[in-house]
């Protein structure tokens, strides 16, 4: 199968490596609108060749759109306008605005909305790594709106690169990702800012940074180009979660102010329950 | 050298392994007030023998107090009452209340206040691991209040287990650790609670949890017995940081509500600067 990947960054590049390694793709055609990415992707052998978008659409059996979610809103209809038998998937972190953008499109059936739940805090072709997707979940959304053959092929693709598949409707997907992905980026960005602001008056502060701090603040290295469009598209869900998060912080603050450490400890024990879910 | 370690949990147990491996200690005597820890520490060979506190003090050249910081307030004076030539160190995450507790003690010079900046989210003897301290920083606080020979020996101890040494006064230490350690635990605990509360109505939520979420929420697995006393002792500093953190979150919220994504992106770029400090 020939697969064209539009956007040779962390996700597009890593997907390319996985698809070649698994043998699911015989040929990978890369597309990127940034010259630096085109050059880098070839240098790193992330694609067999780089092409312009229209050619890449025509030559592919399957087209992966791995661009920021704001670009998807125009790119996806553009690509669907040009496909015939080909299958198109996106790998964006929001789903409702994406499927809305092509709800009435005559080629809607050729599109499968997906979200492989994998990533790192780095971006660009240099961030592409082998094994990024292995044993992780991928979500397929609103599968009933896609042609059956397209869904079957897309499932086979993700299984070929070692992913587990789960299905959600796009509305639930966006609520859930607000809770278990988007908010944690907000937490990290805000924590980084808080500490960096303090550093201005106390420049030795980071000498004491431990692995725990590094872990909590890790996502603050993430690309604003990727995340601002996600925050924008999932704004309403994210604002709900953010309010609940701030309320929990205010609760902690109130308990400290009133020296209610017994009650505070009960909350921490409840929070410990996260062990049940994460190794 | 014979070293007694009081508290055979994550830190005490890991320190024991490191001190034996480095050859700095010929004999490790363990002390713990919990029967389960005594049995487990022997089973895991974390100490050459377990003893009762008073005997462990008498038989040691150096005594490490690796207990929660609230227990330190009474344990440290108790131990100093019983030492003569021996050196005593603590490894607690707060420093000002600890040094205050023995400021007037006639044996204050035998005590060196330290804080090895290393740990994991796990606790108890089973959490002890080899190499926990290698290449990390340890802080020595208010060194001028300790006898010179004691400081020299304690520095040699930490160097022997591969740590880098930095010195702070205890007041600055507590301000800095509020920013780069204590607040990140608060962030994680609150994030875990927020997500677990949502799970009650949407039980499939964690299917989508990615490695980014796991990283941000990791510290929420930490022991409340360890952390509540730290939050309590460092309350005023932590409340300052918590206010700044909440203000940053409210700023993000306001920017989303007013669709000011340009300004929001600038903040995220500022936050990206954390890359400068953390690999």
Same domain for A133 and A223? no
Question: φ, ψ for residue B17 (rounded to 5)?
Answer: -60, -45
Same domain for B50 and B159? yes
Mean pLDDT of A61-88: 98
Binned at pLDDT 50, 70 and 90, residue A279 comes out as low
Same domain for B121 and B216? no
Mean pLDDT of A132-158: 97
Same domain for B19 and B149? yes
> For position B279, what pLDDT does the model report?
67
- Provide the domain count of chain B: 2
Q: DSSP character for B113?
A: E
Same domain for A164 and A182? no
Put simply, the answer to whether A218 touches B180 (Cβ < 8 Å) is no
- Compute the distance between CA of residue B256 and CA of residue B237 in angstroms, rounded to an integer: 29
Does B262 have pLDDT greater than 80?
Answer: yes
Same domain for A137 and A179? no
Percent of all residues in chain B with a pLDDT value above 70, rounded to a whole number: 100
Whether the ipTM is more than 0.85: the answer is yes
Q: A7: alpha, beta or left, given left = phi > 0 and alpha = psi -120 to 50?
A: left
Give B34's contacts (C-beta < 8 A, 6+ positions apart). none
Read off the CATH number of the domain in which B6 is found.
Answer: 3.40.50.720
Same domain for B209 and B253? yes
Looking at B168, B190, B211, the residue that finishes a domain is B168
Indicate the residue of A215, A244, A278 with minimum beta-carbon distance to B209.
A278
Does A105 have pLDDT greater than 70?
Answer: yes
Same domain for B14 and B144? yes
Read off the CATH number of the domain in which A188 is found.
Answer: 1.10.3660.10
To the nearest whole angstrom, how far is the Cα of A101 from the nearest Cα of chain B? 20
Least CA distance to B244: which residue of chain A?
A194
Q: From residue A65, how far is each of A33, A126, B80 by CA, in Å? A: 13, 18, 67
Q: Count the neighbouring beta carbons within 10 Å of the beta carbon of residue A36.
A: 10
- Compute the distance between CA of residue B253 and CA of residue B264 in angstroms, rounded to an integer: 10
Judging contacts by C-beta atoms under 8 Å, the chain A residues touching residue B244 are: 194, 197-198
To the nearest whole angstrom, how far is the Cα of B182 from the nearest Cα of chain A? 9
Indicate the residue of B197, B217, B277 with minimum beta-carbon distance to A244.
B197
Does B131 have pLDDT greater than 90?
Answer: yes
> For position B203, what pLDDT does the model report?
73
Same domain for A8 and A97? yes
Give A270's contacts (C-beta < 8 A, 6+ positions apart). B193, B196
Binned at pLDDT 50, 70 and 90, residue A49 comes out as very high
> For position A202, what pLDDT does the model report?
74
B69, B94, B163, B179: best mutation site toward chain A, by most A Cβ within 10 Å? Answer: B179
To the nearest whole angstrom, how far is the Cα of A116 from the nearest Cα of chain B? 9
Give A194's contacts (C-beta < 8 A, 6+ positions apart). B179, B183, B241, B244, B245, B248
- Residue B48 belongs to what domain range? 2-168
Does B214 have pLDDT greater than 80?
Answer: yes
> For position A208, what pLDDT does the model report?
80
> For position A278, what pLDDT does the model report?
80
Put simply, the answer to whether A180 touches B210 (Cβ < 8 Å) is yes
How much is the mean pLDDT over chain B? 96
Looking at B114, B147, B168, the residue that finishes a domain is B168
Same domain for A205 and A249? yes
Same domain for A135 and A198? no
Same domain for B145 and B185? no
Q: DSSP character for A34?
A: S
Does B154 have pLDDT greater than 90?
Answer: yes
> For position A211, what pLDDT does the model report?
85
Looking at B116, B143, B168, the residue that finishes a domain is B168
Binned at pLDDT 50, 70 and 90, residue B276 comes out as confident
- Compute the distance between CA of residue B151 and CA of residue B166 in angstroms, rounded to an integer: 12
């Amino acid at each position: 199968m020939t697969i064209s990947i539009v956007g040779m960054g962390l996700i597009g590049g890593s997907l390319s490596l996985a698809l070649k390694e698994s043998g699911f793709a015989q040929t990978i055609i890369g597309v990127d609108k940034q010259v630096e990415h085109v050059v880098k992707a070839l240098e790193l052998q992330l694609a067999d060749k780089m092409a312009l978008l229209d050619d890449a659409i025509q030559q592919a059996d399957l087209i992966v759109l791995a661009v920021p979610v704001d670009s998807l809103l125009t790119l996806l209809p553009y690509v669907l306008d040009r496909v015939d038998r080909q299958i198109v998937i996106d790998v964006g972190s929001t789903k409702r605005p994406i499927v809305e953008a092509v709800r009435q499109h005559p080629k809607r059936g050729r599109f499968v909305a997906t979200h492989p739940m994998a990533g790192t805090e780095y971006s660009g072709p240099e961030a592409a790594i082998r094994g990024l997707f292995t044993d992780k979940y991928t979500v397929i959304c609103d599968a009933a709106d896609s042609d059956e053959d397209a869904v079957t092929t897309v499932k086979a693709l993700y299984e070929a690169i070692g992913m587990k598949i789960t299905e959600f409707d796009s509305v639930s997907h966006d609520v859930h990702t607000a809770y278990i992905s988007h908010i944690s980026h907000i937490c990290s960005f805000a924590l980084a800012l808080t500490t960096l602001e303090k550093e201005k008056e106390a420049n030795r502060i980071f000498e004491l940074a431990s692995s725990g701090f590094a872990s909590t603040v890790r996502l603050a290295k993430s690309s604003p180009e990727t995340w601002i469009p996600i925050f924008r598209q999932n704004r309403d869900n994210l604002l709900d979660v953010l309010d609940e998060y701030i309320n929990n912080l205010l609760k902690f603050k109130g308990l400290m102010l009133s020296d209610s450490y017994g009650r505070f400890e009960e909350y921490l024990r409840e929070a410990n329950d996260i062990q049940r879910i994460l190794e």
